[in-house]
Amino acid sequence: MLGIDTNVLVRFLVRDDESQFEKARRLLKREVAAGRRVFVSQLVLLETEWVLRSRYGFQKAEIIGTISGLLDATDVQFEDEPAIEEALFVWKERSVGFADCLIGARNKRLGCSATATFDAKAAKLPGFIGA
């Protein structure tokens, strides 16, 4: 299994640099052809969401669609996929950041009774408490 960095994933998704897109595509194709999956960590996913939103102007619905499409890909393995799915579900319905949703979902899966925050919006999420 090969882990990929944010810049490889973003180039593959947005195809804004044809040379780097092609390198990323070939890299991913090579791994899949060899019967290996590509690994995306939660750190890479969080950074990818931020880059798509802040650098490329993707709207929430576009980002949710992009991440959902990646989750459906059988050749991609995510770190704690159930936490990502839960975070997307919560994020879709709330006006908070994806990072807050993922932090809460991940903490819950790790056995935390709650996630403490100073963020007033995040404190309203299920599983969060105000600090």
The model's pLDDT over 34-47, given as tens digits with 9 standing for 90+, comes to 999 999 999 999 99
The C-alpha atoms of residue 109 and residue 104 are separated, in whole angstroms, by: 9
114 part of a folded domain: no
Coil/strand/helix, residue 76: strand
- 61 inside domain: yes
Distances (CA, A) of 37 to 3, 80, 123: 9, 15, 36
Q: Is residue 67 part of a domain?
A: yes
Q: Is residue 16 part of a domain?
A: yes
pLDDT over 90 (residue 131): no
- Considering the domain boundaries, does residue 123 fall inside one? no
Q: Domain limits at 59? A: 2-79
| Residue 128 belongs to a domain | no
Whole-number Å distance between alpha carbons of 119 and 45 = 21
- Condensed to tens digits (0 to 9), the pLDDT of residues 51-76 reads 999 999 999 999 999 999 999 998 99
Assigned domain for 87 exists? no
DSSP character at residue 37: P
Instruction: Measure the CA dihedral 19/21/27/32, to 10°.
Output: -150
**116 by DSSP, 3-state: which?**
strand
Number of domains into which the chain is organized: 1
Note whether residue 96 is domain-resident: no
Give the pLDDT mean for 75-97.
Answer: 94
What element of type H or E holds 87?
helix 81-93
